[in-house]
Amino acid sequence: MDQKKLADLLFSEELKTPEEYEAMYPLRNLPEGAMVTRLGPSPTGFMHLGNLYGAFVDERLAHQSGGVFFLRIEDTDDKRFVEGAVEVIISSLDFFGIRFDEGAGLSGDRGAYGDYTQSRRGPIYRTFVKKLVEEGKAYPCFLTEEEIGQIRARQEAEKVTPGIWGEYAVCRDWSLDQVKAALDAGKPFVIRLKSDGVPAERCGEAGPRKIRVKDAVRGTLEMPENFMDTVILKQTGIPTYHFAHVVDDHLMRTTHVVRGAEWLPSLPIHVELFEKLGWDLPVYCHTAQLMKIDEETGKKRKLSKRKDPELSLTYYRSQGYHPEAVREYLLTILNSNYEEWRAANPDAPAEDFPFTTGKMSSSGALFDLNKLNDISKDVLLRIPAEDLYEFLKDWSRDYAPEYSHLFDDRDYLVKILDLGRHDKKPRKDLVYARQIIRFISYFFDDLFQPEDPMPEEAAADAREILSRYLASYDHSDDSGEWFGKIRQIAVDLGYAAKPKDFKKHPEEYKGHVGHVSTVIRIALMGRAQSPDVWTIQQIMGEERTRARIQARLDQEA
C-alpha cells in the first residue's frame, strides 16, 4: 500500500508503535473527579502576572480535586530558548505558592509520563505523525517559503481565505514517485495535516460546518470546522504547538487544558487532530486575559512581556508584595464570588475557597493596582508580626540589602510592625515591603529625616512647646497622663484644649491641641501624620525620644 510505503520512506528511523506508547502511559489511577492539569510555558525566561494568573487556575483545579498538576516545557521553537529559563519559571511560581506535583524540574523530571520537555520527545511525535501518514491523514509538503508567499498573493488577489488548503495544497495528492523524486533531489519538507474540512468558500448557502466544543469557562463553543492543511511537523522533525499539544495532553492524560483565549482561533485544528488520532478531547478552559491600558495609545491591550516589565513577577517581588496578597488579588479577578466568600470567612486560608471554572469571567480584566494594594493591607493584617519580620528580612536580603541593618534588633522591629494591629479597629498601614520601610523609617536614626513643615498655627511657638514638653516628659506616664500634659501646654500657650472649641471660636485661640501635638509629632517623626505618638515613644524608648526632641529644639534655636 502506497501510504505505508510513503510513511516508511519519510520515517526510516526505528520508532515505537502508537500502541507501545499507549501502554507506557496508561490512564492515571486517580479518584473520580480528580483533574489533571498542566502548565506549558515556553522557556523565554520571563514570567508576568498573566502567566501566574493562568498557572493559578491549573493549580487550584488540580489540587482542589486531588489531581495532578505538572510542568511541561514547550520549547518546540528553539529560537525562544533562554538559558536558565526553567529555573525562573519554577522559582517564581514557587514564591507565589504554586508547586508542581510532576514534570520538568531543576534536577530532572519527576513522574511517569515524561519526558516533560518537548524538544526531547521527537520520536514520540514522529510515531504519531507516521501513523497519520500511513492512514492518509497527513502528507509531506515540499512547498518553499517563496512558493507559499506566491500562493498567498494569489489568494489575496482572488479574495479567498489565505493558507494551504484544497487546490492550493499542491503536494496533497502527490504520488509516491513524486515524493521520492523530491526526496532524492534533497528537497526539505514538512508534514501537513490532510484536513477533511470543507473550505468556507465551498460551503455555499449552508455555510461552513460547525464544531461544538464544551468549554468550562465559556460554555458550548460553536466554531467553523478547520479546513487548513496545517503544518504538524516542521522541517526540523519537531512538531508545531498544535500537534505537540494534542499528543502530549493525550499521552500525559491531561483532563483539563487551561490556556489563554488567544488559542481559541486554533481550537478547530486541535479538534480535528484529536479526531484523526482517535482520541477524546480534554476539557478546555479558555481563560480571559489580563489586560492593561497602554500608555501610548490609551487603549486596553493584552499584557506584554516586552512592554510591561512592571508586570513581571520579579517586579512584584522586588517591591515586596507578599505572595499571599498577589494570590488573593488574582483570586478576586478569577472568581467573582471570592470577595464575598472572604468577607464571610475572614480568617480562613484562601485554599479553602471552592474555586470553580464556571465563575470565571470570559472577558478580560484590567489589572488594578489599587485593588491589589487594598487587598494586601488586609492580607498583611492576618500575618503575625514575627512572620512579617521574616518576610521583610528575606525580601531585604534579595532586593534591598541597604536595609539589612534594620533587622539587627528583632524585638524592636517586631514591635514596630505590630503597632496598632491588635485594636478593635486595627490599623492597616502596611502594604508591601518597600512601602513599609518608608512608612516606619523614622524609627531608625539613620533613616529619620524631617519631611513636613511645622503647622502654621503653632510654628511660632514650636520652640516653647518642645521645651515645655521635654521638661514635663515622663516616660512612665500612661497615655492618659501623657496627653493631659500636652493639653496643659496647649492651654497655657493659648491653644484650645479641644479642636471643636477652636472651630467654634477660632478668634479666641492660636490653634488647638492638635496643632500642638503636631509640633511634637514632627520633632519626633519628621511627619505631620503618624500613628499614635505615645505608643511610638514607648517603642522608641526614652533615650531616643528625648534625643529627637532635643535635636529639634537645638535646630529651632
Exactly one of 529, 542, 547, 555 binds RNA (CB under 7 A); that residue is 529
Q: Does 172 bind RNA (CB under 7 A)?
A: no
Q: Does 211 bind RNA (CB under 7 A)?
A: no
Exactly one of 19, 32, 145, 280 binds RNA (CB under 7 A); that residue is 145
Please tell me whether residue 112 adopts helix, strand or coil conformation: coil
In the complex with RNA, the residue whose CB is nearer, 97 or 531, is 531
Contact assessment for residue 62 and residue 35, using Cβ atoms and an 8 Å cutoff: yes
Give the 3-state DSSP-derived string for 95-157, with helices as H, strands as E and coil as C.
HCCCCCCEECCCCCCECCCCCCEHHHCHHHHHHHHHHHHHCCCEEEECCCHHHHHHHHHHHHH
- Backbone φ and ψ for 160, nearest 5 degrees, come out as -125, 155
Count of residues of this chain found to bind RNA when the rule CB under 7 A is applied: 87
Sign of CA dihedral 426, 427, 431, 433: negative
Select the span of 49-57, 90-98, 175-183, 333-341 touching RNA (CB under 7 A).
333-341
Residue list 103-142, contact with RNA (CB under 7 A): none
Select the span of 30-38, 285-293, 317-325, 543-551 touching RNA (CB under 7 A).
285-293
Cell of 375: 487587598
Residue list 466-485, contact with RNA (CB under 7 A): 479, 483
Q: Does 499 bind RNA (CB under 7 A)?
A: yes
Smallest gap from residue 397 Cβ to RNA (A): 28
Smallest gap from residue 190 Cβ to RNA (A): 4
Sign of CA dihedral 380, 384, 387, 388: positive
Considering only CA atoms, which of 343, 290, 183, 250 is closest in space to residue 36? 250
Q: Does 450 bind RNA (CB under 7 A)?
A: no
Q: Does 291 bind RNA (CB under 7 A)?
A: yes
For residues 506 and 489, give the distance between their C-alpha atoms in angstroms, rounded to a whole number.
18
Exactly one of 340, 386, 394, 508 binds RNA (CB under 7 A); that residue is 340
In the complex with RNA, the residue whose CB is nearer, 396 or 490, is 490
Q: Does 51 bind RNA (CB under 7 A)?
A: no
Considering only CA atoms, which of 378, 392, 391, 321 is closest in space to residue 350? 378
Smallest gap from residue 523 Cβ to RNA (A): 13
In the complex with RNA, the residue whose CB is nearer, 393 or 421, is 421
219 strand-pairing partners:
215
Residue list 229-248, contact with RNA (CB under 7 A): 231, 234-236, 238, 240-241
The separation between the first and the last C-alpha atoms of the chain, rounded to the nearest angstrom, is 105
Select the span of 26-34, 46-54, 310-318, 522-530 touching RNA (CB under 7 A).
522-530
Contact assessment for residue 258 and residue 54, using Cβ atoms and an 8 Å cutoff: yes
Q: Does 420 bind RNA (CB under 7 A)?
A: yes
In the complex with RNA, the residue whose CB is nearer, 361 or 555, is 361
For residues 239 and 253, give the distance between their C-alpha atoms in angstroms, rounded to a whole number.
19
What are the percentages of helix, strand and coil residues in the chain, rounded to 5?
Answer: 50, 10, 40
Q: The cell 494551504 sits on which residue? A: 164
Q: Does 504 bind RNA (CB under 7 A)?
A: no
Cell of 372: 491589589
Q: Does 428 bind RNA (CB under 7 A)?
A: yes
Q: Does 17 bind RNA (CB under 7 A)?
A: no
Q: Does 534 bind RNA (CB under 7 A)?
A: yes
Residue list 361-380, contact with RNA (CB under 7 A): 361-366, 368, 370-371, 373-374, 377
Exactly one of 212, 299, 306, 422 binds RNA (CB under 7 A); that residue is 299
In the complex with RNA, the residue whose CB is nearer, 218 or 327, is 218
Select the span of 101-109, 170-178, 347-355, 513-521 touching RNA (CB under 7 A).
513-521
Cell of 117: 520537555
- Which helix (H) or strand (E) element contains residue 486? helix 479-492
| List of residues 6+ apart from 331 with CB closer than 8 A | 56, 338, 350, 353, 355
Considering only CA atoms, which of 133, 125, 185, 195 is closest in space to residue 161? 195
| List of residues 6+ apart from 215 with CB closer than 8 A | 221, 283, 284, 285, 286
Q: Does 197 bind RNA (CB under 7 A)?
A: no
Q: Does 76 bind RNA (CB under 7 A)?
A: yes
Q: Does 221 bind RNA (CB under 7 A)?
A: yes
Q: Does 301 bind RNA (CB under 7 A)?
A: yes
Select the span of 18-26, 60-68, 162-170, 393-401 touching RNA (CB under 7 A).
162-170
Q: Does 150 bind RNA (CB under 7 A)?
A: no
Exactly one of 12, 29, 107, 297 binds RNA (CB under 7 A); that residue is 297
Q: Determine how many CB atoms are found less than 10 A away from the CB of residue 33.
A: 9
